[in-house]
Amino acid sequence: MWRYRELIPVDTRYVVSLGEGGTPLYRAEKLARWVGVKRLYLKFEGANPTGSFKDRGVCVGIAKALECGARVVACASTGNTAASVAAYSARAGVKCVLFLPEGKVAPGKLFQALLHGATVIELNCNFDEALRLVLKLCGRGCMYLLNSVNPWRLEGQKSIAYEIADVIGVPDYVVVPVGNGGNISAIWKGFRELHDLGLVGELPRMIAAQATGAAPIVKAFRAGKVTVDPVNEPETIATAIRIGNPVNAPKALKALYESRGLAEAVSDYEILEAQVAIARYEGIGVEPASATSVAVLRKLVHEGVLEPDATYVCVLTGHALKDPSVVDYLSKWVERYRCGVGDIHYILETVLRK
């Protein structure tokens, strides 16, 4: 992403890099057929150093922390921000304190945080309450906040737009999984900047994808509002976006209105179905939150809201290995046998006859 350093307002002397950004943009022909569109591209953010798009923003955020002399960084997280902040702060040599909703962080992400030596504080509350707490604590000035309310985070994440435009130009639509709303607003900002600079002639329409159990932005968008009514007990298998009171909702809604975009929610079943389809048709493993983009696109095309003959980019925000626990919910789709060595001929016969 540092190919675009002139557009990222940070003193590069403070940048501690792990090789963030520069992720693949795949043309997905088989998945496109399943979704019902002609041209579908997948921006695979799972290919970042810690396995999610957060690395782009956290890298810039940590540089700002170093520039202002912070010795401790902190964030509340549903998991991916925590994993990223843990890794980058380790490399930068700053202390890292993470506030996580107990029992609600996917095992791969918790492991990353612990592995990189962060101080992990598991709280008996949900993400929204953890974020309120850490906002208050950071307000005292003892820790540098790295949640996406920190605008420098978004300055890094907007590079997703630059990379897409560099490879295929400006697509008609960009579909983004939305939790706190930071990333969709960052990507929109990236496209707008390219447009303002005269580097591209068009702008995409942004589509926000959420899970039905945690969809405050979809609700606000339908009502034409610029702020959200919080969802008190958000629930979804996509724990990364299990967020009821998104701090960047005003920015996300602005991106949707300005781009003449859309917002839609899908069920946990539709999310898992899309996760499996992405993995089976294209060989790309993503975590459930990431699959919401593909699930939402398919839903809107099937309902006739979106046209098949347009160019779509789905942003796949995080890697499959982040959350291996979902295998427990995939029994409908997985083929798995346990057998004694003595039964192998019988099993093979059944398997090969299928």
The contact pattern for ligand AN7, residues 278-297, with x = CB under 6 A and - = no contact, is ---------x-xx-------
We find the least distance from the C-beta atom of residue 279 to ligand AN7, in angstroms, to be 15
User: Under 8 Å CB-to-CB from 9, ≥6 apart: which residues?
Assistant: 155
Residues 6+ apart with CB under 8 A from 164: 25, 41, 43, 170, 171, 174, 313
Among 81, 126, 150, 275, binds ligand AN7 (CB under 6 A): 81
Q: Quick one: which segment of 14-22, 36-44, 75-83, 162-170 binds ligand AN7 (CB under 6 A)? A: 75-83
Q: Which is nearer to ligand AN7, 8 or 316 (CB)?
A: 316
Dihedral, CA of residue 244, residue 46, residue 285 and residue 174, to nearest 10: 70
**Which of 96, 143, 228, 240 contacts ligand AN7 by CB under 6 A?**
240
Q: Which of 21, 108, 234, 318 binds ligand AN7 (CB under 6 A)?
A: 318
Nearest approach, Cβ of residue 180 and ligand AN7 (Å): 3
* Rounded Cα gap, residues 266 and 264, in angstroms: 7
**Least distance in Å: CB of 138 to ligand AN7?**
15
Restricting to residues 129-188, name those near ligand AN7 by CB under 6 A: 148, 177-183
Complex with ligand AN7: residue 11 or 290, whichever CB lies closer: 290
Min dist CB 310 to ligand AN7, Å, is 23
For residues 87 and 54, the answer to whether their CB atoms sit within 8 Å is: no
Q: What is the size of the binding site for ligand AN7 (CB under 6 A)?
A: 21
List 23, 48, 77, 259, residue binding ligand AN7 (CB under 6 A)? 77
Binding positions for ligand AN7, rule: CB under 6 A: 52, 77-81, 148, 177-183, 240-241, 287, 289-290, 317-318
